[in-house]
Structure 1
Amino acid sequence: MARIWILLLLAVATVSACGNESNPFDEDEVVDQTPGDGDDDGGDDGSPIDSDRTLPPGTSSPAPDASIFRREGQNDDGGGYVSSISYDSGLDTFTVDGLAFDGGNAYTRVELSGAGGAGSVGGYAVYEAPIEYQDAETGTPINQLLHRAIYGVSTSGQTEFAIVRSGGYVPYGFGGFVYQRNGSVTLPATGQATYSGKYAGLRVFDGTSGLEYTDGDMTIDIDFEDFNAPDGVKAEVTNRNVYDIDGNDITDDILAAMDGTPTELPTLHFVVQPGVADTNGEITGSVSSFTYEDGVASEYEEGTYYAVLSDGADNDLDAEEIVGVIVMTSDDPRIDGRTVQETGGFILYR
């Protein structure tokens, strides 16, 4: 069956502890809203990003003393565009323009039964589009497609991410991610640092429709003396869980279907490889996880991570926090021929 993808306008809400309204994406940082191809073009103006490796579209000339904005480029798996942001702090809703069959475009907080509390997964806010929309002339109800969004903002407000995916399609469906630094970073020239926090994301499928949530604990360690070296950055996501669309924990169902019947989902690691970091505080590379049976390792998941360092709000602490997104795929052990695309975000602190 041929896949037909349409453009996606993705938008997210800025939710902070003080309830201020703000636009999480500084349009001054984006030179052109024309998308890259998502593979070898990181700049929105059609030119490569001023960096030594491939990064998502967004800020075309990043610098350590400036804000940096990144978004998922258009790709064959349904990645979309970022634009048209509108947030209502009084109603705790945000608007997503240009995404078909998502009601009146106003996403509201989700009530979940067990995935980390009402309206959140892993401590990050979860939103949903309406499931029904009325014909303006006749009042006849029209069923809408399944859409969910996760939004995270740091305690300082200096880093944030958003992920939108649709579970209403047999392929992965339309979606996108955004992450950004709202300010600058000062990279230490010596020493090491460890960062920790929560990871949370959305899971969609190629082979069936549907959507699941996921979360876990995450750490990143950085050797600033060898930041650009192949082994200068290492990370892992542990204590991983998966929840169904209502927030019920279904991790044990996945474990029971896996070869060797492990007792927990595999730990996700950043792959040790050269050229993952630059002087702007941006980091990107590969991720993978493995299962083991009779001492033999088999790759379970593979994908890519994207992240950026920020000084945060502590004037006495350089490179205080990290925000980023991971996109990876795996075979679903529960259903033959079905693959999972997991897109997760994280905000970590020193």
Structure 2
Amino acid sequence: MKMQVLPFLALMALASCGGPAVVGGSDSGTDSGTDGGISSDGTLPPGTDSPSASRGIVRYEAQDDSGNGYATGFTYNKTDDTFLVDNLAFDGADTPYTRGTKVSSLGRFAVYEGPDLYPDDVTGVPIGQFTHRALYAVSDSGNVELAIVRTGAYVNYGFGGFIYQRNGSVTLPTSGQAAYSGEYAGLRDFEGRAGLEYVRGDMTMAIDFEDFNDGNAVRASVTNRRVYDIDGNDITTDIMSAMGSTASVLPTITFDVGPGVMTSNGEIAGQAHSYTADASGAITTFESGNYYAIVSGDNAEEVVGIIVVTATDPRGAYTTRETGGFLLTRP
């Protein structure tokens, strides 16, 4: 049984964080990519077969009939700062995604744009491509990294995917607790309308390595979430106004706390929610979804992961899906 956590700060107007940095930056680390083995470990996404604490682990979005998990071959090219994604229609064929123009990064998360046009291979006639955006982030150590790609070209969510990985091993404590903090960023797409949005926030996590006895306990909060349109304009207040709220940021996302969410391999998976409160104090669920993560390092000093939550968008008769990634360290 898991209990949903209602953070006090989620019900208050929080101080805002800065907007997207529209300047380039350097990245380091190894290229991302699937390792070929597809198996499911409980509620974890597919990826590394027979995972263990002594080796790297790769997880990626499961493929389904809705278009999820179709993106493959995630490859970052450090030399020219481009990103390549395979198996997505009308994203420039084998043309790499280039660093974003109007939004080049969301904190430490680099933003890449699929090409707008691709020439007919015989006549050279330009063919319009679907709007695709990719996020890529790697930790300072290079031991954990992630990527997310979504498109805003379909009436429904469309085709895309995510990948997150640990490039080495982990040694998990057998007692005590650990605190983590870091950055969160993601892409928002829709079911019922086209378009893409960006999101950025702050994140903290704590792990209790002593309890529960079945899989430890994990709690986390994503705060200061602000939303930007595809051109980088802050539209958070538009969303909050449509909700009838005077808050300056989106509600806090929290992880449900309960046993059995963590494996001996350092992998974590569970449910996540955010909440709103009316004038009488009654609590209502705003967003619902899942989180997936991997702990890394000799001292369990890093965590990488993905959160996917959906909500009825207060701005119209459609559903918003937010796919966010996070890189956290023990301060």
Q: TM-score band (shorter)?
A: 0.7 to 0.9
Supply the AA of the counterpart residue of 1:141: P
In the alignment, the residues of structure 2 paired with residue 342 and residue 212 of structure 1 have an alpha-carbon distance, to the nearest angstrom, of 9
Identify the residue that residue 232 of structure 1 maps to in structure 2: 217
**SS of the residue aligned with 1:204?**
strand
Q: Any idea what the Cα deviations from partners look like across 1:109-140, whole Å, max 9, x if unmatched?
A: 0023xxxxx51013200101011112232222
Task: For residue 19 of structure 1, report the CA deviation from its aligned partner.
Answer: 5.2
Equivalence map 1:91-240=2 (5 Å): 91-104=80-93, 105-112=95-102, 119-226=104-211, 228=213, 232-240=217-225
CA deviation vs aligned residue, 1:223-258 (integer Å, no higher than 9, x gap) = 111155587211000011000001111101111100
Which residue of structure 1 lines up, in the alignment, with residue 285 of structure 2?
Answer: 299
* Structure 1 ranges of 4+ moved more than 6 A: none
Cα 1:19/1:56, change in 2 over 3 Å: closer
Quote the Cα distance in structure 1 between the aligned partners of 2:96 and 2:37: 27
Query: 1:24 — aligned with what?
Result: 32
Name structure 1 gaps, 5 residues minimum: 1-14, 33-42, 113-117
Rate the CA distance shift 1:191–1:131 in 2: closer, same or farther, 3 A.
same
Classify 1:228/1:348 alpha carbon distance in 2 versus 1 (closer, same or farther; 3 Å).
farther
Identity of aligned residues (%): 54
Q: State how far apart, in whole Å, the 2-side matches of 1:231 and 1:23 are.
A: 31
1:325: which partner in 2?
306
Is residue 223–residue 252 contact of structure 2 (8 Å, CA) maintained in 1?
Answer: yes
Paired with 1:55 and 1:266, the residues of 2 have a C-alpha distance of 26
Distance in 1 of aligned mates of 2:126 and 2:86: 20
What corresponds to 2:12 in structure 1?
A: none
Partner of 2:255: 270
Partner residue, 1:56: 45
Contact 1:102 1:144 in 2 (8 A): yes
Contact 2:308 2:321 in 1 (8 A): yes
Task: Give the match's secondary structure for 1:225.
Answer: coil
1:348 equivalent in structure 2: 328
| Greater RCO (CA < 8 Å, at least 6 residues apart) | 2
Instruction: Trace 1:72-87 onto structure 2 (pairs within 5 A).
Output: 72-81=61-70, 83-87=72-76
Q: Could you tell me how far apart the structure 2 residues matched to 1:305 and 1:178 are?
A: 13
Q: Distance between the aligned counterparts of 1:143 and 1:252, measured in 2? A: 33
CA distance in 1, matches of 2:105, 2:212: 34
Q: Deviations over 1:248-282 (max 9, x none)?
A: 11101111100344343111000122211111111
State TM-score, norm by structure 1.
0.82
Deviation at 1:24, TM superposition (A): 2.1
Q: Does the Cα contact within 8 Å between 2:34 and 2:73 map onto a contact in 1?
A: no
**Structure 1 residue 76 displacement after superposition:** 3.9
Residue number among 75, 83, 90 corresponding to 2:79 in the alignment: 90
Matched letter for residue 24 of structure 1: S
Helix, strand or coil for the counterpart of 1:84? strand
Question: How many equivalent pairs are there?
Answer: 305
Amino acid at match of 2:37: V
User: Is the CA contact (8 Å cut-off) linking 1:82 and 1:178 kept in structure 2?
Assistant: no
Aligned equivalents of 1:278, 1:231: Cα separation in 2: 8
Tell me which moved more, 219-228 or 273-282. Answer: 219-228
Structure-2 change in CA distance of 1:274 and 1:86 (3 Å): closer
